[in-house]
């Protein structure tokens, strides 16, 4: 047993720190530090910087630009970029459809799409969830009917993150109704500019336009846009979700939030002039969350450094549950630390940037919106209730 980073890892860490310091937009990082929202351009610019430095698709096969990093190095990259308030890497292309295409796509699909994903020439979105399917993904109803060299798609997807920016969607469609729900699903690629595609925004609690409904009305896509075999889409989706699990605990994000919380609590003073960080209630919550984070970080490392743990579903679910709980608790504590100034809504500042000075300290405006937005962590991507169901099944059949 040895929990120290190797010299190689420490050097890697320094490299990434220097990259963040020197090459990532300070303005973008400041927005994140204050809980303000990024524009599409902010995200694209960050991706381009990653691409230039070879950090856009490190998880891919080397043939397509991957870096053959160890799990620990991936974690270091995530930790450091989070610590430097960098944006989170857009997952849909890099972590989702990219790996699926590498594993199951045709050579033509790989050559056509992978380089464009790596450069973010195409912005991808994910067409999985449907109204009414919720956590029961396999009950999806959007149909794709083969018609000559095309599939004709009809139906609706929902909770589609950034569909408003997207050029492409990977979509699960029902291609067979005469079998078990899981066996009649196909995995397809769809150009968002195809006639018959309509994107309708869903505004979240914090006022942010992040997710959408997407409607398909006789949308015709080339049959070659089918990935792998027809009716095998459920397998590819499961592969994708397992891949997505990487970094699920969001340790780096939590650490960064904890630091922000400490900073704010050191600046805020109670009614008695005491620093909030010295207040008996607040300091206790800080100490508790630090312990929770310490334990979660070690659990995450236990999973990263052991293939057996990586395939253990009880761990994947636990990282998701504990990670989302912790990050939600941290955004709540930040809001409480800001105090009454967090009650003032400054949506124009948070969403669009505003020239007038903020009301209260600069960290006040983003506190409540971040808290509200983070309620999604325990809902989207498999709710914590679904995670518990999966863990229970894994425990009881072990």
Partner 1 sequence: MDFSLSEEQRMLQETVGKFVADRYSLDQRKGYMALAEGHDQGVASELTELGLNLVQIPEDQGGLGGDAFDAMVVGEALGPGLVLEPVMEVMTAVAALAGGRPDILEDSNSHTLGLYERGQRYALTAAGTQVEGGKITGAKTLVPNTAGATHALVSASEGGQLGLYRVAMSDEAVTLFNYPLQDGRPFADLQFDGAAAERIDGVGLAEIEAAVARLTIAECAVAVGAMQAALDMTKEYLSVRKQFGRPLAAFQELQFRLVDMNMEVQDARSMAIWAANQANLTTGEALLRAASMAKAKIGKAATYVAEDSIQLHGGMGMTLEYGIGAFAKYLITFNLLHGDVDYHMGRSMRLSA
CB of 284 to a second copy, least distance (A): 7
CA dihedral 391, 392, 397, 398 (to 10 degrees): 50
For partner 1, which residue of 104, 332, 350, 363 counts as binding (CB under 8 A)? Answer: 332
How would you class 103 by CB atoms within 10 Å of its CB: exposed for 0-12, middle for 13-18, buried for 19 or more? middle
x/- map, 242-281, partner 1, by CB under 8 A: --------------------------xxxx-------xxx
Cβ atoms < 10 Å from Cβ of 273:
6
| Cβ proximity of 204 and 211 under 8 Å | yes
Query: What is the C-alpha separation between 38 and 350, in angstroms, rounded?
Result: 9
> Judged by CB under 8 A, how many residues of this single chain contact a second copy?
3
Judged by CB, which is closer to a second copy: 203, or 287? 287
Residue 396 main-chain phi, psi, to 5 deg: -80, -15
- 280 is a site residue for a second copy (CB under 8 A): yes
Stretch that binds a second copy, among 36-44, 240-248, 280-288, 368-376 (CB under 8 A): 280-288
- 335 is a site residue for partner 1 (CB under 8 A): yes
Interacting partner of 307 out of partner 1, a second copy, none (Cβ under 5 to 8 A depending on kind): none
Stretch that binds a second copy, among 35-43, 110-118, 158-166, 276-284 (CB under 8 A): 276-284
For partner 1, which residue of 18, 145, 179, 205 counts as binding (CB under 8 A)? Answer: 205
CA dihedral 153, 179, 107, 191 (to 10 degrees): 10
Interacting partner of 268 out of a second copy, partner 1, none (Cβ under 5 to 8 A depending on kind): partner 1
- 294 is a site residue for partner 1 (CB under 8 A): yes
- 284 is a site residue for a second copy (CB under 8 A): yes
Stretch that binds partner 1, among 23-31, 46-54, 135-143, 172-180 (CB under 8 A): 135-143
- 327 is a site residue for partner 1 (CB under 8 A): no
- The residue whose two tokens read 């910087």 is 49
CB of 265 to a second copy, least distance (A): 17
Query: What is the C-alpha separation between 217 and 332, in angstroms, rounded?
Result: 41
CB of 179 to partner 1, least distance (A): 17
The two beta strands, 168-174 and 124-127, are parallel
- 295 is a site residue for partner 1 (CB under 8 A): yes
Residue 58 Cα distances to 40, 48, 136, 280, 285, angstroms: 22, 14, 32, 44, 37
Interacting partner of 30 out of a second copy, partner 1, none (Cβ under 5 to 8 A depending on kind): none
For partner 1, which residue of 161, 299, 331, 370 counts as binding (CB under 8 A)? Answer: 299
Phi-psi label, residue 159: left if phi above 0, alpha if psi -120 to 50, beta otherwise? left
Show contacts with partner 1 in window 27-86 (CB under 8 A). Answer: 72
How would you class 341 by CB atoms within 10 Å of its CB: exposed for 0-12, middle for 13-18, buried for 19 or more? middle
CB of 287 to a second copy, least distance (A): 11
Q: Is 152 helix (H, G, I), strand (E, B) or coil?
A: strand
Sign of torsion, CA 354 357 358 363? Answer: positive
CB of 265 to partner 1, least distance (A): 11
Q: Which two tokens stand for residue 256?
A: 């960064």
For partner 1, which residue of 33, 38, 204, 241 counts as binding (CB under 8 A)? Answer: 204
Cα 354–376–187 angle (5° rounding)? Answer: 110
Judged by CB, which is closer to partner 1: 247, or 317? 317
Judged by CB, which is closer to partner 1: 106, or 198? 198
Show contacts with partner 1 in window 143-162 (CB under 8 A). Answer: 158-159
Among residues 305, 218, 295, the alpha carbon closest in space to that of 6 is found at 305
For partner 1, which residue of 18, 179, 266, 343 counts as binding (CB under 8 A)? Answer: 343
Query: What is the C-alpha separation between 351 and 274, in angstroms, rounded?
Result: 33
Binding site for a second copy (CB under 8 A): 280-281, 284
């Amino acid at each position: 047993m040895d929990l120290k980073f190797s010299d190689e890892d420490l050097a890697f860490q320094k490299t990434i720190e220097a990259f963040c310091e020197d090459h990532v937009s300070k303005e973008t990082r400041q927005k994140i530090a204050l809980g303000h929202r990024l524009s599409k351009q902010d995200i694209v610019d960050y991706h381009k910087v990653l691409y230039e430095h070879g950090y856009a698709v490190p998880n891919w096969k080397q043939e397509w630009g991957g870096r053959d990093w160890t799990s620990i190095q991936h974690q270091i990259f995530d930790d450091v970029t989070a610590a430097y308030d960098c944006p989170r890497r857009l997952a849909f292309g890099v972590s989702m459809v990219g790996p699926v295409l590498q594993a199951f796509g045709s050579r033509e699909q790989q050559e056509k799409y992978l380089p464009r994903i790596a450069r973010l020439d195409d912005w991808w979105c994910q067409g999985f969830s449907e109204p009414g399917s919720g956590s029961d993904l396999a009950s999806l109803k959007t149909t794709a009917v083969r018609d000559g060299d095309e599939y004709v798609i009809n139906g609706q997807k929902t909770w589609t993150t950034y569909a408003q920016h997207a050029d492409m969607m990977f979509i699960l469609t029902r291609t067979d109704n005469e079998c078990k729900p899981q066996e009649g699903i196909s995995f397809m690629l769809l150009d968002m500019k195809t006639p018959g595609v309509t994107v309708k925004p869903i505004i979240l609690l914090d006022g942010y336009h992040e997710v959408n409904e997407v409607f398909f009305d006789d949308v015709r896509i080339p049959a070659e846009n089918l990935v792998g075999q027809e009716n095998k889409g459920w397998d590819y989706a499961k592969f994708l979700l397992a891949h997505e699990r990487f970094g699920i605990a969001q340790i780096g994000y939590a650490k960064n939030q904890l630091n922000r919380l400490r900073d704010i609590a050191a600046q805020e003073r109670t009614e008695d002039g005491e620093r909030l960080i010295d207040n008996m209630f607040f300091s206790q919550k800080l100490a508790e969350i630090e312990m929770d984070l310490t334990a979660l970080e070690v659990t995450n490392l236990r999973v990263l450094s052991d293939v057996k743990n990586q395939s253990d579903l009880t761990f994947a679910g636990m990282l998701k549950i504990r990670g989302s709980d912790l990050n939600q608790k941290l955004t709540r504590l930040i809001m409480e630390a800001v105090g009454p100034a967090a009650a003032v809504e400054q949506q124009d500042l948070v969403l669009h940037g505003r020239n007038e000075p903020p009301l209260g300290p600069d960290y006040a405006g983003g506190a409540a919106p971040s808290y509200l937005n983070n309620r999604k962590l325990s809902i989207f991507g498999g709710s914590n209730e679904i995670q518990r169901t999966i863990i229970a099944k894994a425990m009881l059949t072990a």
